Structure 1
Amino acid sequence: MRNVVMALTEGSMLFEAAAACEVFGTDHSDLAGPWYSFTVCGADGARVGNWFRAETAQGLEALADAHTVVVPAWRGVDMDPPGDLVDAVRAAHAAGARIVSLCTGAFVLAAAGLLDGRRATTHWAHTDVLAARYPRVRVDAGVLFTDEGDVLTSAGKAAGMDLCLHIVRADYGATVANALARRLVTPPHRDGGQAQFIPAPVTHGRDHPLADLLPWALARLDQPLTVEDLARQAGMSSRNLARHFHAVTGTAPLRWLLSQRVRQAQELLESSDAGIERIAVWTGMGTAATLRRHFTRVTGLPPEAYRRTFGAPGPGPTG
């Protein structure tokens, strides 16, 4: 898998393309040799990142000789990817190449049919679009990257570097990948997935039946609220409440409550130095063990690791 070819097209994104160039296109043979042979192909003069014009000596036919094909992020997720790129990627895979997409490059792989029946990811802002447009793809919105052997996909932006280092680890071993990560001043492996970076959905406006109930519940997350409590406050039956919750929030009442408790725990971990036990009480989780279980399942990180990544010590809430 040493012959790596990156395919650029009009609208390719600069950050992800640069990550692949740095990992595969820079000579790191002092770490392991021979290092990758790296080629950039595609339309000569294609705009990358909306301003940089790429100089490519070869067209997409270079993919035919690739051991590994890299498809960086592509800006046009609201339209079909270029047919010549899709055909070239499909042909390279049929010839035995390992196909790698970074961020929204997954849309190119999906259009080529390479993700059908496979687990895949892309930037969290576009996972719903990918799933809706290509329903045969098993989209995982919470991970940094997926590895299906001959087809690999990454989440958005910096997750492309995570996948590139994962490939180096698979090809050369952990020692080489760790040394390269130190050289790039980046972690060799990040805990958790991109779920920790997805902002919590917020219901805007007051033109819905739960407009008064949701703020009431948010002010009482430390209390052991039940569906019956919510229904009584809303003045409706539990069945009617569940129907409105699905319409307004897209989920069930207790699942919504849990997500809001986790969101509040994230804010407290980021903004305070309060202990995990106290945060568990303030967010209605009860115990640190319960908080850790739910928090890790939702965000992909235990609370302590989340605080190390995002926290800024400060005074906690009083009371």
Structure 2
Amino acid sequence: MPSLTTTEFEAERPHLLAVAYRMLGSRAEAEDAVQEAWLRFEKARERGEIHDLRGWLTTVTGRICLDVLKSARVSREAYPGQWLPSYVVEPDAGPDARAEMSDQVGLALLVVMEKLTPEQRVALVLHDAFAMPFEDVATVLGTTETAARQHASRGRRAVAQDGVRHTADLAEQRRVLGAFLEAANGGDLQALAALLAPDVVAIGDGGGLVPGVGTRPVLGADKVARFYLGIIAGLGEVEIETVLVNGSLGLMARGHLANGRPLHSVLSVAIDDGRITGFFNQLNPNKLELRDLG
């Protein structure tokens, strides 16, 4: 069998990053996991152990991510305040933007996946997102095929029960988000609340680096509407633009609050049946990967 090359590994890197990001919810951690997979690839190819490159690399990356998730549970329990995944933020191409981005995974799904056990998350990602047979998922988890199926099934149920609903295409997202901005800027509490689902949730992640970020989610249409009207009232000179956040429409705010503190945040919004079901406000500068936004 011909020797595998660096070029062949690099061709698989986007796939491995997609796998790792869905498992870890962090671009930096995903890149570290893929780099570790590269080091293991280097050693294994010298010994001629690799016969199915993508399968071998996916398995190795899955095992690395499983170890990271197990250790991350401890660190995230001690995280200052609410935890959100890292964001991939890109320019909004306008009404002609693609309806979906196949290389991204929505924030609403990543948020609920944080509630899964490491084994459930790895099994769900590998089988449901990347069609890995349960026999191979079991190898990654170091368990039986039956147990791997159970992990995926339990993870699937948790996502269905606890997930924030997000079914809107970009056109509907643009309409609802525009109405939200109009109502918020006009201080219209009734119109704002009407755009929110009764069980809407608002979560903010400052990573302990941004003052004033709450430590608990805000729940319910009335409370969330009042919460955002309060935020609008506290803004100073702020530029707000629509962006794509993990492939869905969101808002980026840059400028200063009325008290003079600098502001840089990206708000991801989940929308279902014409109403907003979730706000995910990322203010932690270490979790914003801005692609060509200046």
TM-score tier, shorter chain, comes to under 0.3
Normalized per residue, the structure richer in strand is: 2
Larger radius of gyration: 1
Please report the TM-score for the alignment, with normalisation by the length of structure 2: 0.24
Normalized per residue, the structure richer in helix is: 2
Higher RCO (C-alpha under 8 Å, 6+ residues apart): 2
